[in-house]
Amino acid sequence: MSLTRRSATKLLSDLNTGKLTAVELMQATLAQIEKVNPQVNAIVALRDADELMAEAAAADQAVSRGPLHGLPIAVKDLDDVAGIVSSQGSPIFANHVPEKDSLLAQRMRDAGAILIAKTNVPEFGLGSHSFNPVYGVTCNPYDVSVSAGGSSGGAAVALVTGMTALADGSDMMGSLRNPAAWNNVYGFRPSFGRVPADPKGDCFLHQLSTHGPMARSPEDIAVLLDVISGPDTCQMHGYPVIDTAPLKPAETKGLRIGWLGDWGGAFAIEPGLMELSEASLSVFESLGCHIEPVAPPFSADEMWESWMTLRSWSVAMRLEPLLEQKASLKDSALWEIERGLRVSALDVHRASEVRSAWFRTAAALFNQYDALILPSTQVWPFATHIPYPTEIAGQTMDTYHRWMQIVIPVSLIGLPSLAVPSGFGAAGLPGGVQIFGPRGNDAQILAIGAAYHTATEWPQKQPAMMEVA
């Protein structure tokens, strides 16, 4: 197995024991980026190779700084990294070079990671298609004519092509789960509060988005999750957490899993995706799980209206200061800002009442089921020149993000959710499902995913062809 195909867990073990040097790993990483990245455009703002090699050599001489010591990682381009252009995919910040790391980047650096570059995103992370006017579009390594998803699209592609062994991402509206499905890797959205955001601006009101890890296995995800988890003293959200690594597969015999399908027809889904999702259910059945279909437990329309209000309000509060440079903002950003500025305090309260009602309903469901499953996406990867799908199976989409509605049941109430690969469709493109559970049950959801991975190993069995060195 080539160096760039090894798991992060194996690489870190070999770095720790001296079987592998950080210099050797950095050389292999840079060679793989040079070979692959021109075809997919996932890695952006790559640092100077000589500087990176010197940093790797220094890591080989230093005492281990933590569980990621010597591992190259490219950080999602929505987070600041000191000394690296951090653009958020926007021309407004195309030359922005921060002097200070974000909290996420600092935690990875403190754990010994060598931060080498950024991974590409949609402008400001809006939409699940990673293209922007600064770096262009990230292509799917299974078919470079179609999207890699987003907003963690660059991260997912870097993983599946062997340019990195671990990747960070973030997820407001499926930004970890959608690209994981479309690139045959794993993405984990933790319980809200487990991984804190930067301690700036408001730290009380907005509870939709979270950082999370991506990898080629749940075991590797656990390694990065432990590094980035834990409360920040400057923020009120967050709670003490127990480490998940080393992750062991769950004892799955007798586990009760609820299958939500298309939510009683509420979510339009392209042909073939439901069949692919249901194939993953048979894997769980073979592991001894009891799978039961679940009738829609809550109104999809009410969740969507709640989500629309809370999301636009949150995005508007973040991006409103940029309205002075309106000409540099993409249409979806302007739409969110303008919509969010019209939201009243009473609108937010009513939306949060719906969110609270869904949380209580979900809590009752988890008295019956250990986990619930939904498809990760409603569409297959679409052509890179299309900004977003405008219809699914003949049903018109009324917003730029309606086609991602299937992620809302998790996102609205901050539940832990693991996106797992479920195989490939007729056109050879990947798909996946999202496994989710009660708030705080992150370790259990990952352990269920580990059992599934042991039985399937999709990323290892069918890597993107350009990954193989």
Tell me what pLDDT residue 49 has: 98
Q: How many residues are recorded in the chain?
A: 469
The stretches in the chain having pLDDT less than 70 are 466-469
pLDDT in tens, 391-444: 999 999 999 999 999 999 999 999 999 999 999 999 999 999 999 999 999 999
User: At what angle are helices 300-319 and 345-365 packed, to 10 degrees?
Assistant: 130
What domains appear along the chain, each with residue ranges and CATH number? Answer: 3-467 (3.90.1300.10)
Report pLDDT for 465: 73
pLDDT number for residue 1: 74
pLDDT in tens, 235-266: 999 899 999 999 999 999 999 999 999 999 99
Dihedral angle sign, alpha carbons of residues 286, 291, 293, 298: negative
| pLDDT value of residue 469 | 45
